[in-house]
Structure formats: structure tokens, C-alpha cells
């Protein structure tokens, strides 16, 4: 997550068909756009639990309130955008910036469009467990990171401090930041959101130093006190050149992206997606139930829906 969350193109063309487990599936307007029920909505599922939480609630309402059949397709971010062009994806329910992809698929190809804010405020940054602030004074000021580089050394980072990263598909400015700020650190890819969470939990329990890439909204902030490292402040355009980035990430108003076909023929399904908007607290509650309370995505979504009827009824098109 950041101004954009996904890195290089992971697949294209035929590879997308494989990722989606078959091309040419039913679309939302195959049976009248679902106005009488029975239509299909294809929702991409990107690899972090907050996204899954939003998708779960929208899918639950599409199914139970409007009679649609929802197909969830687990995809990396950039592959999901490719699905707008192939017709295999109708909805990306939580988009973290991606100006490059917006230019390509919205402005140039015109196969996608913005469907409003999710209501979530997204922040990406570098974090340490808060206990480190007492033990290592000034640790949250980037100017002091080289002073403490030895504290973060691991077998993977060698003679440099480790900056732990997550899913390699997330878009990342970390290498550029390290280079341009002249930091004695190395990005070590943990491979997943789960690795970041486990590492933070172990750091808290074992008082083991950790510097890692993370984001809010996330349920982990309600379980562990985390402190964000203050990088040079973000200014408009400071991240325009990926190779020259030397500033922090901006706070983002996360938005929803849909295919133009879905916008034009999705009927009530599109209206529900467009109307959907909730808070970071809402998302974190559902995500926490999915992760820590042994609930499936559907169970967690149903719990939230049952407790917030007045909220979601306003999203249902008349």
C-alpha cells in the first residue's frame, strides 16, 4: 500500500486467464444485470485482510439483499486491473492510489472508472513496536536510523539493518528511500501480510527489535502499540519519479474501481458498490474477527451486517 500498492506486472494476457481459473465466465449483465436476481458480480480479492473484510460485507449484501451471485477472484493488484480489460473483473473494492494504473485503464483504455471513496483513510509507512522508543531514543526519526542500523541486523540483511517487507506484489518505494536517504539498510521480503504480523507479534513478546513496512487501517494496531518512523514529509509530487523518492507516503482516501461495463450495466449491484462507505474502525472489526476470532469472511461480514442495519440500509438502492 502506498501511493500505490503493487509492484511490477505479475502477469498479462493468457496468464491472467490462468490466475482467474478460466476466462469467459458470466458477467453481471448476463441475466438482466441482476435487477431480478440471478446476475453475477466478479470481485477481485487482493492479498490483505482489510481488503477481504470490505469485499466480504459487500458480497454478503449483494447476495442476501439483492440476489446476486458473487464470484471472488484472488488476484494481485495489477492483475486485477488487467481483469477490467478482459471482462473478468467487475470490482476492486479497495484501491490504494495507483495513478499509473488509473492512467492506463481509466484515462487511456477507458475500461475502468472510479466508483467513489470507501470511507477508509489509508496510510503506509515504516513502523517499530512502541517499546523501542524508550530503549532506543530517537528511533522514530529517520535521521537516527543509521545510528541504530546494527540493532536491526539479521542473517538475511548481512551487515546492514533489516527493513522487513511483505508481499512482493505490493508497490514499494523502500529501495529508493534507502538509497536516496543514504540509509545503511536492506529490504528483506517476508513474502506476505501474515509474515509482517507474526514478526510484529514476536517482537512484542520477545522484545526483539523490528523495523517493518506496514499500513493503517489494520486490526494489529488494536493489539500492539506501533510507532511510525518519521520520514521526510510528503509533498505533492515528491514521489513522481520512483527512482528519486525521498519522502514519506501520503495519507490516501481509498477508493473503489469498477469496470465501465459494470458501471453501465450493473444496475443495483453497481449502485450498492458505489454507495458502500465505512470507517477504518468498521473494517478493522471485521478483519479482526476473520483473523483472530475463528470466523470465516462470511461469518464476520454477517456479524457486522446484523449489528449495523441502519448503516448498510442506506447503501441499498431503492
What tens digit of pLDDT does each residue of 273-298 get?
Answer: 999 999 999 999 999 999 999 999 99
Is position 101 within any domain?
Answer: yes
| Same domain membership, residue 200 and residue 103 | no
Task: Check whether 6 has a pLDDT greater than 70.
Answer: no
**15-19, 143-147, 306-310: lowest mean pLDDT where?**
15-19
Taking 50 as the threshold, does the pLDDT of residue 252 lie above it? yes
The answer on 127 and 116 residing in a single domain is no
CATH number at residue 174: 3.40.190.100
From 163, 194, 228, give the residue that closes a domain: 228
Q: Cα(102)–Cα(256) distance, rounded to whole angstroms?
A: 12
Of 33-42, 50-59, 232-241, 253-262, where does mean pLDDT reach its minimum?
Answer: 33-42
Q: Is the pLDDT at 206 greater than 80, yes or no?
A: yes
The pLDDT tens digits of the residues spanning 103-112 come to 999 999 999 9
Dist CA 58 CA 270 (whole Å): 11
Non-local (6+) Cβ contacts of 73 within 8 A are 19, 20, 21, 42, 43, 44, 45, 80, 83, 88, 89
| 261 in the same domain as 115 | yes
| Residue 61 lies inside a defined structural domain of this protein | yes
Band (83; pLDDT cuts 50, 70, 90): very high
Is a pLDDT exceeding 80 seen at residue 54?
Answer: yes
How sure is the predictor about 169, in pLDDT bands with cuts at 50, 70 and 90? Answer: confident
pLDDT of residue 19: 44
Per cent of the chain over pLDDT 70 is 88
Whether 84 is in a domain gets the answer yes
Residue 112 CA: distances (Å) to CA of 4, 9, 45, 81, 146: 17, 18, 17, 8, 43
Instruction: Name the residue with higher pLDDT: 255 or 21.
Output: 255
**What's the total number of domains in the chain?**
2
Instruction: Looking at the structure, tell me whether residues 149 and 223 fall in a common domain.
Output: yes
CATH number at residue 103: 3.40.190.10
Q: Is residue 233 part of a domain?
A: no
Q: Residue 4: what pLDDT?
A: 44
Mean pLDDT for the stretch of residues 83-97: 97
pLDDT at 3 (0 to 100): 42
> Do 128 and 211 form a contact (C-beta atoms < 8 A)?
yes
191 and 265 belong to one structural domain: no
The answer on 178 and 92 residing in a single domain is no
Q: Are residues 115 and 260 in the same domain?
A: yes
Q: Are residues 173 and 102 in the same domain?
A: no
pLDDT at 37: 55
Q: Are residues 104 and 137 in the same domain?
A: no
- Are 109 and 140 found together in one domain? no
Gap between the Cα atoms of 212 and 40, Å rounded: 39
pLDDT above 70: residue 12? no
**Which among 16, 7, 33 is positioned nearest to 101, based on CA atoms?**
7
The domain in which residue 217 lies consists of 122-228
Q: Does residue 26 surpass a pLDDT of 70?
A: no
- Quote the pLDDT of residue 104: 98
Q: Which of 10-19, 131-140, 252-261 comes out lowest in average pLDDT?
A: 10-19
Residue 171 confidence class, pLDDT cut points 50, 70, 90: confident
94 in a domain, yes or no? Answer: yes
* 156/168 same-domain check: yes
Domain assignment present for residue 238? The answer is: no
Average pLDDT, rounded, for the chain: 90
pLDDT tens track for 260-270: 999 999 999 99
- Whether residue 2 is contained in a domain is answered as no
What is the distance between the alpha carbons of residues 226 and 136, in angstroms, rounded to a whole number?
Answer: 14
Residue 239 resides in a domain: no
Domain identity same for 140 and 115? no
Amino acid at each position: 500500500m502506498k501511493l500505490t500498492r503493487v509492484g511490477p506486472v505479475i502477469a498479462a494476457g493468457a496468464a491472467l486467464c490462468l490466475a482467474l481459473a478460466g476466462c469467459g465466465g458470466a458477467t453481471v449483465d448476463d441475466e438482466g444485470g441482476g435487477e431480478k436476481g440471478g446476475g453475477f458480480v466478479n470481485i477481485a480479492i487482493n492479498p490483505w485482510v482489510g481488503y477481504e473484510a470490505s469485499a466480504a460485507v459487500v458480497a454478503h449484501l449483494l447476495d442476501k439483499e439483492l440476489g446476486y451471485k458473487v464470484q471472488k477472484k484472488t488476484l494481485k493488484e495489477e492483475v486485477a486491473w488487467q481483469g477490467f480489460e478482459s471482462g473478468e473483473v467487475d470490482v476492486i473494492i479497495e484501491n490504494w492510489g495507483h495513478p499509473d494504473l488509473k492512467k492506463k485503464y481509466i484515462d487511456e483504455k477507458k475500461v475502468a472508472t472510479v466508483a467513489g471513496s470507501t470511507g477508509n483513510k489509508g496510510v503506509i509507512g515504516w513502523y517499530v513496536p512502541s517499546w523501542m522508543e524508550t530503549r532506543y531514543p530517537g528511533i522514530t526519526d529517520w535521521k537516527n536510523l543509521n545510528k541504530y542500523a546494527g540493532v536491526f541486523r539479521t542473517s538475511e540483511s548481512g551487515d546492514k539493518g533489516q527493513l522487513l517487507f511483505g508481499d512482493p506484489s505490493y508497490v514499494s518505494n523502500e529501495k529508493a528511500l534507502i538509497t536516496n536517504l543514504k540509509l545503511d539498510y536492506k529490504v528483506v521480503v517476508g513474502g506476505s501480510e501474515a509474515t509482517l504480523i507474526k514478526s510484529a507479534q514476536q517482537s512484542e513478546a520477545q522484545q526483539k527489535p523490528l523495523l517493518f513496512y506496514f499500513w493503517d487501517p489494520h486490526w494489529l494496531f488494536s493489539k500492539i502499540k506501533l510507532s511510525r518512523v518519521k520520514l521526510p514529509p510528503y509533498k505533492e509530487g515528491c514521489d513522481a519519479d520512483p527512482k528519486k523518492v525521498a519522502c514519506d507516503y501520503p495519507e490516501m482516501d481509498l477508493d473503489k474501481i469498477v469496470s465501465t461495463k459494470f458501471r453501465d450495466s450493473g444496475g443495483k449491484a453497481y449502485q450498492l458498490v458505489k454507495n458502500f462507505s465505512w470507517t477504518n474502525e468498521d473494517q478493522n472489526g471485521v478483519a479482526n474477527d476473520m483473523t483472530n476470532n475463528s470466523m470465516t469472511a462470511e461469518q464476520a461480514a454477517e456479524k457486522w451486517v446484523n449489528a449495523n442495519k441502519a448503516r448498510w440500509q442506506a447503501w441499498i438502492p431503492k
